[in-house]
Amino acid sequence: MDSFLDRSDELHTEILALLEGAEAFPGMRHEVALVACGITLEHALSLRLLVRTQCFTSALSMMRLQYEALARGVWLLYAATDLQVQTLASPLTVGAETAARKMPMFVRAIQEKYHQILPGLVSPL
């Protein structure tokens, strides 16, 4: 397991080196999606730390958070409405929090928008 975690750390370092100084494409949608992907990388680091310290139950929970952050980034980029992107990009206020709570649960949002998401994910291949 240690070897696997060490290799994962090396991959993480390489990914961060590639992303260092990278800017999102112009526009709020890309910026917010990039933030979500950054959160995914942070969760990946946390996940490895939890596994190294044998906190496996917490690691499983972190894995779910990591998946949801990545999936949220994809959703933001390909399927979220402009209003949803703007809501997530706005400063944290009581009003913004209330608006964010009205957004669909992630799984429901994906189910409703999968036909919009899939072409964007598959076409680069």
Examine the pLDDT at 105 and tell me if it is beyond 70.
no
Model-level pTM greater than 0.75?
Answer: no
Residue with tokens 């397991």: 1
Least confident of 6-15, 36-45, 85-94: 85-94
**Angstrom distances, CA of residue 37 to CA of 31, 41, 124:** 10, 6, 18
User: How many angstroms separate the CA atoms of 100 and 107, rounded?
Assistant: 15
Q: Tally the domains of the chain.
A: 1
Least confident of 6-15, 44-53, 67-76, 84-93: 84-93
Note down the domain range covering 34. 2-122
**Mean pLDDT score of the chain:** 82
Report which DSSP code applies to 25.
Answer: P
The residues near 16 (Cβ < 8 Å, ≥ 6 apart) are 41
- What tokens were used for 67? 């998946």
pLDDT level of residue 46 (50, 70, 90 thresholds): very high
